[in-house]
Structure 1
Amino acid sequence: MTSNARFLGRALLGLFLLSGSAGLIYQAVWSHYLGLVLGHAAYAQTLVLAIYMGGMAVGAALVSRYGARLRSLIKAYAIAELLIGLGGVAFHPVFEAYVDSSQRTVLPMIDSLSLAHAYQWFSAALLIMPQSILLGATFPLMSGGFRRAIPGDDGRMLGGLYFTNSLGASVGVLLAAFLLLPAVGMPGSLLTAGLLNMLVALFAWFFGRALEQSEEVRGSAVGLRNDSSSTAASARDPSSLRRLSIGMIGATFASGAASFVYEIGWVRLLNQALGTTIHSFELMLAAFVFGLAFGGLWVRRRSARIGDAVRAVGWVQLCMGVAALISIPVFSRSFEWVGWMMGALARSESGYLLFSLGSAVLSLLVMFPAAFFAGMTLPLFTMALLRAGSSESAIGRIYAANTVGGILGVMLAVHLLIPAMGVHLTVTLAALVDAVIGLLLLRATGSAFSRWGDVRLGGAGVIAAVALLLSLVLGRPDMLAQSSGVFRTGVATLPGTEVFYFRDGKTATVSVTGRDGMTIISTNGKPDASIAPLSDAPTADEVTMVMAGLLPLVKHPAPEEVAVIGWGSGLTTHTLLGSGKPQVVDSVEIERAMFEGAEMFGGNVLRAYIDSRSRVHFDDARTFFAAGARRYDAIISEPSNPWVSGVASLFTVEFYRFLNGHLKDDGVLVQWLQSYEIDDSLIATMIAALIEVFPNSEIYLTNQADLLILARKGEGQGLDRQVWSEAALAGELERVGLGSPQELELRRIGGGTLLRNFVSMFNAPIHSDYFPKVALGAPQARYVGRSSDLFQRLVMSGLPVLDMIDCRSPPAITDQIADAEFGLFADAHHLAREVARSFDDGAATAVLQLRSMADAAAVNTMLRAAWPSEPNQDLRLWSMAVATIAQSTIGHLLPQDQQSVWFSPEWGRRVEGSVQKAAILAAFQAAAERNARAMLINAQRVLQLQDDRIPGLLREQMLVIAITGAIASDHNDLAAALEVEYGARIPRSQLGSVRQFLQAWAANGHGGCSPGGGRGRLGPH
């Protein structure tokens, strides 16, 4: 081979590497697109795999049938790459038009969910089928063109092409997940892949033309376009070649099926150890394809030494089956390794990078050995046929059979084997299939063995049997480890925990466990809900689920038709059915195992299972709502956490527009949000999407960290208090601390203006289906342990910030507010009551000392300051005490309920002779009274004091009081000036985010709250 031909050949290999990268970018991004149609990442990944491989099978078969008629296969390859690129560029606008027509026109006309599913799967398949067919044609076109242009070792050629294409594919997966999607979103990722294909087409045409015009290959190309080479044709008679061809095609079909059963099974298993995130899935896919690539490289380097390709592929198949069996015990130890990583790595961005690298290594340990052997099979099967005398069409036939087998493997794994046998046994069965194929192939080539052939074959069978035994004994996963959520907690064991239910469903593994009297339902190890027995105190999750069901009952005049997205524990549906208002409650859950497992909660959720008004649909929410044009009075959306792969699409502007179309004119949406394991910017981008569609919204805190947003399609209405008198609900509401209207209203933080201000603080973009910021950012936020607590701080600051700017009002002491364990605001209100009672009594009460030693000490310090024996009490000590009491009382009590704290006649005598104390007291009194002008004036006086004995916390309180007073007095420009003048000298502490919020409020031109409760100017009163 001349140096010129060698250079051109290597250049084509490099182009094939780029083509492989583009191909897997398509597969990765198509999964996200079709997830928007099919509703679950697992279903989307299944369909994409099936259609992707099915299309490739068709493409390969077409080349096999018609390739010999093509004059230039490499030019045909270039044309195929060009068409793939054009499809990539056009995909996004075509998809948008498809979704719009489906949701607006087609699905509303289909009343049957079965027909709706058939339409969705068929139409979604058509979206990616053309490009998939063209992608399938690329390998046989390039292989055949390469073989025509550079005759020689078929094994080296096939292995090289398979290696470069698979290596490029592995790189493409990582590029999509870690670079393209974060930078340019889904449309930009497909555009990049499309342009890459076009670039490959351009250079392939140029290099192919130059190579085919080479004097060295011009003569050989003609002969190799015939159905068989003269040398190979004499190798076997036609009947023998036909039998070999049938055997090889059947074997590669079964091998392809087993390989993709591995992939599905490994992903499902590793999800339980690494977490079901977009990053973990792409790392697993990259590891699998990486193994395939190096299998191809092995064949490329050693093909010349392989005498009998059939015998070689027999050993490879056997080794693949054994490696797959061994992968299961390796997986069973993965929980310990992940726990070690979680303990050893810092909870930081760099730690998350290392955790991702560790996840990739773990994925390689599980997947690489079997995938390595899988990467050898396709080149070896093809090489066996070519060496036996088959034409270049054998490349297409083998490729097509392998991909069709892959389709069968994917569909069997997801829809039959895993639900029936579990993931562990499914992978075991696939491994046995490969091992049996290997043994059969070795048996068929027994005549080529030495006299020890039977011994070798028997030894191979023993090795397979030992591997099977080890897999079954050592590889059985521990159900407690699988339920542990080690990727969150770092703990791979659950001592003292009992497993009540465990099942591998179609989309996830669901477990129900019991510990310390509490029952927990988990998906892939992530707890989704926890419930305590009715005789015990409720869990924090129960408060959220009950409140999600309560809000539409009291905030909608007649919630007769209600839909719940996500079954969870079933407690939200159970709560809704405790009222006589709903006539129908449709609960939509995509995983049947979730519904079955939640039945273990027993009487806590009984109505959800036995009430005739309860209807459960195992479906995707988009499909269910669109089919038949369903419309509801209320929709409650309680999906899983947005870091879970595929779930973030339920928090996008497109989804909220979709839900808006399925609400009646006065309908309400209740949306759950987490404020734990996530950061402010991610929360803000999801809220930005919601208020873009539902500007009339208000936000509630259910416990300490769960949020509910009540979004109205129409105008709001007052609270329906009659719900609390319904016998079936009264006791359940009281149990979770929602036994009165006041207890519900206490959890309200603010309305639409507050939410818009929160979004503007972080300059948050509107979360979109096509720019998955949350899905990409939330896994890292979870790992780092971030939290979004600004909404809580606005209330827990203890200052009347929301009272003055957003009309929030604390409950009165006379209101019935239960001292609930998980009621953050209720706990603060009861603390404030006890502080006020202590001032009435003249000393800290015993209850206050038990509740808060810091507040008890502060009360006693302030009261002792009035004693004649201590007329010169230290200003620093007094200031710290008064700042503590202010934080615990002012914002949590009505003005009339804190007279003894801030307006006692004793106060005048306590501060006599101290200008500083008098100024501080006047500012806090103004805040307690909600007197905007006095707050501004008196807090400024304190800020002007140059006294180092005044602590930083008190100074920051004064700055917040002054800014709040300025805004409430309609002086937003002064609010900004105060931050500029004093803010730099006051370090940001726990009130830093509140200051930032107030500055955004002023900058956005929002005013204060009028005494009548409306938006507007608030003056002294």
Structure 2
Amino acid sequence: MRQPTKASRRAGSIESHQEPGVSMPVEGARVDAARAKKGKGQARVLPIALLLFVLSGFSGLIYQSVWSQYLGLVLGHAAHAQTLVLAIYMGGMAVGAWIASRRGVRWTRLIACYAVVEAAIGVAGILFHPVFDAYIGFVRDQLLPWMPGSGTAHLFQWTSAAALILPQSVMLGATFPLLSAGLIRARPERKGEVLGGLYFANSLGAALGALASTFLMLPMMGLPGTVAAAGVLNILVAVLAWGLGKQVDRPAAMEEAAAPEARSGRIVDPLLLRALTFGAMASGAASFVYEIGWVRMLNLVLGTTVHSFELMLAAFILGLACGSMWIRKRADRIARPLTYLGHAQVLMGVAALLSLPVFASSFEWMEWIMDALQRSWSGYGLFELASASIAMLVMFPAAFFAGMTLPLFTLVLLRNGGGESVIGRIYAANTLGAIIGVAGMVHVAIPLLGVRGAVVAAALIDIAIGVGLFVLAQRAHEAGTGAGQAATRSNRRGMAVAIAVAAVALFAGTVYGRPDPVAQASGVFRTGAIFIDSPEVEFIEDGKTSTITVLSSESNRIISTNGKPDAAIRSLAVGAGDDEHTMVLLGLLPLVYHREPRQIGIIGWGSGMTTHTVLGSRVPREVDTIEIEPKMVEAARAFGPQVARAYDDPRSRLWIDDARTFFARNGKKYDVIVSEPSNPWVSGVASLFTREFYAFAKQHLKEEGVLVQWLHSYETSDALMATMLAALVEEFPDIDIYVSNTTDLVMVARADGKPLQTHWNDLDGDIRAELVRVGLDSPGQLRLRRIGGADLIHAYVRMTGVTPHSDYYPTVSHLGPVARYMDGKADLLLHLATNGMPVLDLLECRKPAALAQGLQPVPNVWTSEWHGTAAASVRTMADGRLDPWLAGHEPYLARALPALLQTSQYLADDPALLMSWSEGVASLAKGTIGHLPAEDLEAVWNRPQWLPEAAASMPEVAAVMAAYGAAARRDPAAMRAAALEVLALPDAALADDVRDQMLLIAMLGEIGAGRAEAVAELDRRWAPTLRERAELAPVRRFVRAWVDAGLTPDCAAAPGRSLAATEDAGDTADDGPVGAVFPLHSP
């Protein structure tokens, strides 16, 4: 090729660029002759290499996906981990590409070198888990406690975490330059096809790897198995590549033929090299601003889950792959690649701007999707397909053009005399730009411009790059004649059109790309609705990790993270809401379960009400609340006086940090740790519900320290709840379980494993107002919310067959989104307390609260409502008229009990009414027996004045009443005998609900009588005679699991739990002196 003169180089001339003409020969005749000798075997080289690079890309994105979850355990938030992994992944690849481009020109067997690098990546992948496990233990236990400050600790965490994945990232970066340069040496006449093909293959494999790792490998093999499998795959690629290298790599003659241009070629114009290197870097930065921005925006539409993130990542990478594929077949026929590249850059910016109106419309699409799909496994598959489609519509167009640009940047330089070193140079510049884009987006662009504004700014950068490339090409055309002059006119028209299109796109993106703030806060991926009672958006801002919103109406405020409500507080003019019951209980239990809770740590700010409640007592001296998103704390100020102490009390200290990092660095031990993070299906949150986390938390509790843990029963499943509780009980053997409303559970556990004790501490101060508001103003009301202890968890785990949830086997992260979509319910533990049969009385030696305590039913608290229902049912049966409570709170019983009273009067005269009577009496049993002690049930079941003697003497009625009476008395022997007598009656004689209850009563009777071994036989004998979906079938499975686990009710060994006891000081004395011990485990 013609070399530029010294004068032309000084002037920055690019007159010899490829733009003016297309007649320049690609390679010399010697190379063509040598290539012909390779024969037909050479034709198979490129397809084999593409397959290898598909597999390499597949494993590479497995690493990225898995590393995000590993490093999330170090950095705390999934967004932080994803950001760091993106930065180091791309940065490491930049370094690797640069090294390969500098060193590779002197190496003769590039594909063999590629094979060695792949093998090294594989070995590192196999060793990654044991290295990480040793690292995280050493850092948390040995290093962080000695760090002088939070800044030093964070710097060390980020740098050390980066160092874990940097070596593999560097090696991953070297793979493309090595393989592409090796293939170009073998097929120099097909540079464009080789480059485009390899970009496509690698991107396609990456997209498949992102999906396979999340939806198949991680659920099946966990993090250790998945990262090791990726390593094995790399070693397989290395073996195959080594064989390919023997066929392709050439020493001697052909290396000499190719060397002058292919290896040590010289750029015609240094200005072109600098301009394209800078352009590739800026384009890479813009692309990753898009990726992060789209992920943050689409989290509001698709939900913040590991599934949605990988779908978005796959959509982005697939766009890159298709763009590369487009270039692959066209690159060698493009006459003016510099102009072509300018168009691609402008169109990428235009597509990014137009993605904003698409995003704004996607809320309505998701609303329609949620309304159209069933809540089932197949429905979830369609939901994920629809989510992927939305992600594709938003991300694919711009990503497609991004996939075109990198091969084009490289091709322009190769066409203009650049040697194979420019491949690594451009690749390194592009990935370096990606680092700048990731860091700049998180730390500069989002705080200054917001997520949407950052995407607009990145789009303008891409458009500016395109215009700059047009100008560069224009200079080349103007320097030529003939065809060059025609190209100049065409280039000017193209540049004008591109700028006009960009201006229209900018207008559309900024004007029509503004989604409704209410839609952003609606959580449409959960609710299926955008507009919720037309609330006001009081706060909406993009934080570094998430978008925080506050929706307000006349009587309620809701604070949400990425559209997922984290807390709601009603105004004081109306009754307390569900979340208030939970947050006040979380604040009360530390004061009740620890004799002197001076130091309290709270994980998660939420609304601030838990911190506010704790500070209502004078006992705590320091309350440290750890929150990872500063905007959450800022937004929660909207709740005003109802959370004021969290902000104003000098004992309250806020820490913006990850919980694990804070506790490890702080080194302080606490009397109580309260954990109330977001729902564990949210990406990154599930790591606060693992065995490793509970072991870690126990290390930061004092000897008599107490852990208080929130857990939801909605949008989950019994198996998922059981795996989290299994993790908890493995580290904390003594646990008390409370229900706070209709769906939330709160667990209390003691660090030293000793039996839990309760203390009614200084609760007459400011906290009294919160307690009264949620009906927790006495020990009796608190006891009413207790379900049971650790034995319930052991049986629950046995029944579900799960293993303890682990950091390295994040089942909840992967199955939680499915349960959320299907609106699953893990209500078995709640059902044990509310099914109406004395299950907990026989298994846990519990005695229900007596009517003499005068406990008023508290709305929205299940156990309290059922206690009120039982009291109203007893009054209804005693008075012969409907109690008003039932009419307002239990419509089913409001219909069933008057019908039962009426049917009982005519039953003796019309035996055909027996079925109707049995349906009513089953409803009465469900509403009374398990909710009141024997003395309060005497008049209903053992001396029933409401049942005429004639009816009571009927054999079927007498058997049924005897069984229910025995259950009401908690008489095990009589329960078993009477219930079996009822089961022996003809199936058609009684309602299915009666038979269902009788089998459970018989099983409980066997346990109470010390014959637990007979339970399984009873269930096998009689369960097939019941209807297929009997209401109490899950409870019976639980009872069998209780027996299989070897658990036995030892009421004699449980102080205050004796079934024979009918009175206790705690029954009547609801308010004790400060510090007085009261028996929450018993009446």
Contact persistence 1:28–1:173 (CA under 8 A): yes
Q: Residue 840 of structure 2: which of 802, 822, 829 is its match?
A: 802
Per mean C-alpha deviation after superposition, the further-off stretch among 392-401 and 455-464 is 455-464
Report the equivalent of 1:438. Answer: 466
Q: Residue 184 of structure 2: which of 132, 144, 147 is its match?
A: 147
2:972 aligned with 1:932: yes
Q: Residue 418 of structure 2: which of 386, 390, 394 is its match?
A: 390
- Alpha-carbon offset, residue 408 of structure 1: 0.5
Contact persistence 2:94–2:432 (CA under 8 A): yes
2:142 aligned with 1:105: yes
- Alpha-carbon offset, residue 545 of structure 1: 0.7
Contact persistence 1:378–1:399 (CA under 8 A): yes
The change in CA–CA distance for 1:169 and 1:998 in structure 2 (over 3 A counts) is: same
Q: Deviations over 1:650-679 (max 9, x none)?
A: 111111111111111111111111101111
Report the equivalent of 1:474. Answer: 512
Report the equivalent of 1:878. Answer: 917
Q: Residue 935 of structure 2: which of 864, 877, 896 is its match?
A: 896
**Alpha-carbon distance in 2 for matches of 1:7, 1:799:** 73
**Alpha-carbon distance in 2 for matches of 1:618, 1:794:** 39
Equivalent position SS for 1:59:
helix
Report the equivalent of 1:350. Answer: 378
2:1024 aligned with 1:969: no
Structure 2 counterpart of 1:304, one-letter code: D
**Alpha-carbon distance in 1 for matches of 2:906, 2:191:** 104
Report the equivalent of 2:788. Answer: 750
Contact persistence 1:19–1:165 (CA under 8 A): yes
The change in CA–CA distance for 1:1014 and 1:948 in structure 2 (over 3 A counts) is: farther
- Alpha-carbon offset, residue 846 of structure 1: 4.1
Contact persistence 1:511–1:521 (CA under 8 A): yes
Contact persistence 1:556–1:717 (CA under 8 A): no
- Alpha-carbon offset, residue 602 of structure 1: 0.4
Q: Residue 984 of structure 1: which of 1024, 1027, 1030 is its match?
A: 1024
Report the equivalent of 1:916. Answer: 956
- Alpha-carbon offset, residue 698 of structure 1: 1.6
Contact persistence 2:749–2:756 (CA under 8 A): no
- Alpha-carbon offset, residue 268 of structure 1: 0.4
2:1036 aligned with 1:1000: no
**Alpha-carbon distance in 1 for matches of 2:1056, 2:1049:** 6
The change in CA–CA distance for 1:863 and 1:390 in structure 2 (over 3 A counts) is: closer
**Alpha-carbon distance in 2 for matches of 1:468, 1:270:** 20
The change in CA–CA distance for 1:515 and 1:1017 in structure 2 (over 3 A counts) is: closer
Structure 1 counterpart of 2:118, one-letter code: E
Q: Deviations over 1:797-824 (max 9, x none)?
A: 1111101110222211122423222111
Report the equivalent of 1:243. Answer: 271
2:255 aligned with 1:224: no
Equivalent position SS for 1:699:
strand
Report the equivalent of 1:272. Answer: 300
**Alpha-carbon distance in 2 for matches of 1:823, 1:493:** 28
Report the equivalent of 1:22. Answer: 59
**Alpha-carbon distance in 2 for matches of 1:973, 1:354:** 46
**Alpha-carbon distance in 1 for matches of 2:746, 2:884:** 36
Q: Deviations over 1:964-988 (max 9, x none)?
A: 0110111011112211221111224
**Alpha-carbon distance in 2 for matches of 1:880, 1:144:** 81
**Alpha-carbon distance in 1 for matches of 2:942, 2:682:** 52
- Alpha-carbon offset, residue 534 of structure 1: 1.9
The residue correspondences of 1:309-328 to structure 2 (distance < 5 A) are: 309-328=337-356
Structure 2 counterpart of 1:1003, one-letter code: D
- Alpha-carbon offset, residue 419 of structure 1: 2.1
**Alpha-carbon distance in 1 for matches of 2:1053, 2:896:** 35
Structure 2 counterpart of 1:1001, one-letter code: W
Equivalent position SS for 2:757:
coil
Contact persistence 2:144–2:664 (CA under 8 A): yes
Q: Residue 501 of structure 1: which of 516, 539, 543 is its match?
A: 539
Per mean C-alpha deviation after superposition, the further-off stretch among 876-885 and 710-719 is 710-719
Contact persistence 1:889–1:898 (CA under 8 A): yes
- Alpha-carbon offset, residue 473 of structure 1: 0.5
**Alpha-carbon distance in 2 for matches of 1:199, 1:736:** 62
Structure 2 counterpart of 1:885, one-letter code: L
Equivalent position SS for 1:419:
helix
- Alpha-carbon offset, residue 1011 of structure 1: 5.8
Structure 2 counterpart of 1:428, one-letter code: V
Structure 2 counterpart of 1:202, one-letter code: V
The residue correspondences of 1:687-698 to structure 2 (distance < 5 A) are: 687-698=725-736
Equivalent position SS for 1:390:
coil
Contact persistence 2:177–2:423 (CA under 8 A): yes
- Alpha-carbon offset, residue 1015 of structure 1: 11
Per mean C-alpha deviation after superposition, the further-off stretch among 345-354 and 871-880 is 871-880
2:548 aligned with 1:520: no
Contact persistence 2:841–2:1059 (CA under 8 A): no
Report the equivalent of 1:635. Answer: 673
The Cα RMSD (Å) is 1.9
TM-score, with length taken from structure 2 = 0.91
Equivalent position SS for 1:208:
helix
Q: Deviations over 1:183-216 (max 9, x none)?
A: 1111111111101110111111111111125xxx
**Alpha-carbon distance in 2 for matches of 1:377, 1:611:** 56
- Alpha-carbon offset, residue 309 of structure 1: 2.1
Structure 2 counterpart of 1:950, one-letter code: L
Q: Residue 403 of structure 1: which of 422, 431, 434 is its match?
A: 431
Contact persistence 1:677–1:781 (CA under 8 A): yes
Structure 1 counterpart of 2:393, one-letter code: L
Report the equivalent of 1:417. Answer: 445
**Alpha-carbon distance in 2 for matches of 1:853, 1:196:** 61
Structure 2 counterpart of 1:941, one-letter code: E
Contact persistence 1:633–1:663 (CA under 8 A): yes
- Alpha-carbon offset, residue 1001 of structure 1: 1.2
**Alpha-carbon distance in 1 for matches of 2:601, 2:94:** 42
Report the equivalent of 2:596. Answer: 558
Structure 2 counterpart of 1:657, one-letter code: A
2:633 aligned with 1:595: yes
2:986 aligned with 1:950: no
Contact persistence 2:847–2:1059 (CA under 8 A): no
**Alpha-carbon distance in 2 for matches of 1:229, 1:122:** 36
Identity across the alignment (%): 48
**Alpha-carbon distance in 2 for matches of 1:43, 1:442:** 38
- Alpha-carbon offset, residue 914 of structure 1: 1.0
- Alpha-carbon offset, residue 897 of structure 1: 1.5
Gaps of 5+ in 1: none
Structure 2 counterpart of 1:17, one-letter code: V
**Alpha-carbon distance in 1 for matches of 2:466, 2:898:** 84
Equivalent position SS for 1:948:
helix
2:745 aligned with 1:720: no
- Alpha-carbon offset, residue 1014 of structure 1: 5.3
- Alpha-carbon offset, residue 827 of structure 1: 1.0
Q: Deviations over 1:737-784 (max 9, x none)?
A: 212111111111110111110010011111111111111101111111
**Alpha-carbon distance in 1 for matches of 2:353, 2:948:** 82
Contact persistence 1:267–1:281 (CA under 8 A): yes
Contact persistence 2:196–2:328 (CA under 8 A): yes
Report the equivalent of 2:19. Answer: none
**Alpha-carbon distance in 2 for matches of 1:846, 1:1020:** 32
- Alpha-carbon offset, residue 496 of structure 1: 1.8
Report the equivalent of 2:213. Answer: 176
Q: Residue 662 of structure 2: which of 612, 620, 624 is its match?
A: 624
TM-score, with length taken from structure 1 = 0.96
Contact persistence 2:406–2:426 (CA under 8 A): yes
2:202 aligned with 1:165: yes
Gaps of 5+ in 2: 1-35, 478-486, 1063-1083
- Alpha-carbon offset, residue 903 of structure 1: 2.8
Report the equivalent of 1:31. Answer: 68
**Alpha-carbon distance in 2 for matches of 1:869, 1:484:** 54
Per mean C-alpha deviation after superposition, the further-off stretch among 65-74 and 1-10 is 1-10
Per mean C-alpha deviation after superposition, the further-off stretch among 843-852 and 621-630 is 843-852
**Alpha-carbon distance in 2 for matches of 1:451, 1:986:** 86
